[in-house]
Structure 1
Amino acid sequence: MATLLLGATVIAVVANGAEATKGAGPVTWYKAGNLYAHQKEYARAFIQYRKAAEQGYAPAQRKVAIAYIKGQGVLRSNIKSFYWMHKAAHSGDREAEFVLATDYLFGQNVPKNVARGLYWVRKSADQGYARAESDLGLSYYVGHGVPQSYTRAIYWLRKAATQGNSPAEYTLGRAYMTGRGVPKNYTQAIFWTRKAARQGFALAEWNMGIAYQRGQGVPQNSGRAIYWRGLAEEQGCCSNDVTSGTYP
């Protein structure tokens, strides 16, 4: 019943405008913003998001930050975007935590700070955000900003891969193919590589082609090898001298 009442309130806000927002709360304003955004009425969406954001509602703070990044319903402003993304992250929004992490890792809007970036990646990953889990796993896999650890890498990559994150699926498949952090297992390697390839992840497509070419984990099949490598090449990937994109 509460959900139905909330839905009715949101519809009233969109249908009747500002008058209907009297007495409404941040969740209602946020949902109204989503409805306006779906209708591509970005200026009205921004007004609703901003009201919810000012009440400390983290998802709305993230939406306001995104609006400033894209210039949707408001003038672009990297400074204001960072301000609101920072507030959302500190309010515990896992997607905002991840965005803030990338800002620090790549020096976007702030001075580059890998340690700070990984701090926010871990906070986001701890909340189950797949992209953060994947990035943290990759950091451990190659030792970027953290001590290299295949054990920790596989832990985080598996969590991300089970949520369908294609970079994690690809890297987990590569780990099984090479025996890094897990026992070498061609069946598992193909299982995870194929999942990434079916999502259009070019390196995984290429490695499926290599697997069929060599008969690793699948019957040798030149036709399938050409098919998968062709899909990868359509995306500009790869070549035989790109070792990061081929099984050893």
Structure 2
Amino acid sequence: MNSQTARKMFSFDIRANHFFRAFLLLAMSLLAGVAFADDFNDGVSAYKSGNYQQALSLFEAGAKKDDPKSTYALGLLYKNGVIVRKDIGRGLNLIMKSANQGFARAQNYLGVTYYDGNEVEQDYKEAFDWYGKAAVQGYPDAEYNLAVMYGLGKGTRQDFSETIKWLRKAAMHQLPEAQYGLGVMYSRGLGVVKNDEQSAYWFSKAARAGYLKAQNKLGILYSEGKGLEKDEKKAFHWFEAAAEKGYAKAQFNLAVMYDKGIGVAKDVSKAIMWYRKAATQGNVAAQKRLKQLHS
């Protein structure tokens, strides 16, 4: 398999840790009972209760004491212009300081920033290095992102064995993207011996965690009887689960089930409804089938 083909097959996305998600995760880890500096602890509480100026003052106080969590939080506020006037340079400097102090979330955030070229010059090697620093600390998003870098050969050599290694670590941390990724690797024999049963196992784990791509894929496996016993009703169930959450491919597959009466009673009106939902999102196959039904 040449490198271009492998990259096309390895179609994962970097897990971005954007501002609000990053900040809420920070707050959630605090509430989970992790011991943080008082300034940061009180700052998060103030932020969550809407006392933004108090939160800002507390984060500033914590940053002056070189608390990496407070420094990171303050950096996010400045970079995104929340509470304070937006100052991308200052925000990035604070996040960089926190990352250099060893704070894994800040390290992963910088990885995403350099990977995307978001307000910095795009640099895959820099992204790879920051993901690596966070991943060795057991930070799940960074473990997954490092796996993606190895799979795509961006910032490092392409190495599917390393991809598998880091996907496993992230999957054991219950990250559904990584569980889905392992399903893909086993289904295609990338870095591991092709194994349909293992593929179905990991797709199932991700699907039950609510990952829409995995729910759609599990529906396909049940409809084909690949890696598990064929069951059209279960296929319908998983297509419906993802379709109702707006996943276009699942909407199309659910429409086909209604259209042909597979796993459910034939219902053309419901088929048309789901074809339309998929077509609205640009699904070409759904658009084509709607034209056929209305011709």
Q: Shared fold (TM-score greater than 0.5)?
A: yes
Aligned partners of 1:42 and 1:72 also within 8 Å = no
Q: Give the gaps of 5 or more residues in structure 2.
A: 1-32, 45-52, 287-295
Report matched runs for 1:95-106 at 5 Å.
95-106=141-152
The reply to whether residue 27 of structure 1 matches residue 27 of structure 2 is: no
Tell me if structure 2 keeps the 8 A contact 1:33–1:49. yes
Post-superposition offset of 1:170 = 0.7
Deviation at 1:130, TM superposition (A): 0.7
More deviation, 166-175/143-152: 143-152
Say which of 176, 195, 206 aligns to 1:130: 176
- For residues 233 and 79 of structure 2, the distance between their equivalents in structure 1, rounded to whole angstroms, comes to 44
Change (3 A) 1:20 1:7: closer
- Structure 1 pair 71/107, CA: closer, same or farther in 2 (3 Å)? closer
Q: Distance in 1 between matches of 2:172 and 2:62?
A: 38
Q: Does 1:77 align with 2:123?
A: yes
> Does residue 165 of structure 2 align to residue 87 of structure 1?
no
Query: C-alpha separation between the residues in 2 aligned to 1:196 and 1:73?
Result: 34
- Report the AA paired with residue 123 of structure 2: S
In the TM superposition, what whole-angstrom CA distance separates every residue of 1:69-97 from its partner, at most 9, and x where no partner exists? 34445444333222212211222211111
In the alignment, which residue of structure 1 is the partner of 2:56? 14
- Whether contact under 8 Å (1:101, 1:117) holds in the other structure is yes
Kindly indicate whether residue 186 of structure 2 is the aligned counterpart of residue 186 of structure 1.
no
**How many residues align structurally?**
240
Number of the residue aligned with 1:110: 156
Amino acid at match of 1:31: A
Q: TM-score, normalised by structure 2?
A: 0.71
Partner residue in 2 for 1:203: 249
- Matching residue of 1:68: 114
RMSD value over aligned CA atoms?
Answer: 2.7
Q: Percent identity?
A: 31
What's the TM-score once normalised by structure 1's chain length?
Answer: 0.83
Give the Å deviation of 1:194. 1.0
Q: Does the C-alpha gap of structure 1 residues 46 and 180 become closer, same or farther in structure 2, counting only changes over 3 Å?
A: same
Letter in 2 for 1:86: G
Aligned-partner SS, 2:131: helix
SS in structure 2 at match of 1:88: helix
Letter in 2 for 1:77: D
Give the deviation of 1:168 after TM superposition. Answer: 0.6
Task: Point out the more displaced range, 59-68 or 225-234.
Answer: 225-234
Which digits, 9 at most, give the CA deviation of each residue in 1:97-138, with x for residues without a partner? 111111111222223222222222222112111101001012
CA contact (8 A) 1:44 1:73 kept: no
The one-letter code matched in structure 2 to 1:231 is: K
Whole-angstrom distance in 2 between the partners of 1:81 and 1:142? 27
**CA shift in 2, pair 1:8/1:71, >3 Å:** farther
Give the deviation of 1:59 after TM superposition: 1.0
- AA in 2 matched with 1:22: K
Contact 1:13–1:32 under 8 Å retained in 2: no
- Give the stretch that moved more between structures: 25-34 or 122-131: 25-34
Answer with 121-130 or 105-114: which moved more.
105-114
Q: 1:33 Cα shift?
A: 2.8
Q: Distance in 2 between matches of 1:76 and 1:14?
A: 30
SS at match of 1:182: coil
Name the CA distance, whole Å, in 1 between partners of 2:55 and 2:249.
Answer: 47
Q: Whole-Å Cα distance in 2 between the matches of residues 235 and 215 of structure 1?
A: 24
Contact kept? 2:39, 2:59, Cα under 8 Å: no
Cα distance, 1:143 vs. partner? 2.8
Q: For 1:20 and 1:72, how far apart are their aligned partners in 2?
A: 27
AA aligned to 1:110 is T
**Aligned pair partner of 1:168 in 186, 190, 214:** 214
Structure 2 partner of 1:244: none
- Matches of 1:70 and 1:148 in 2, distance apart? 32
Pick which of 49-58 and 16-25 moved more: 16-25
**2:194 aligned residue (121, 128, 148):** 148
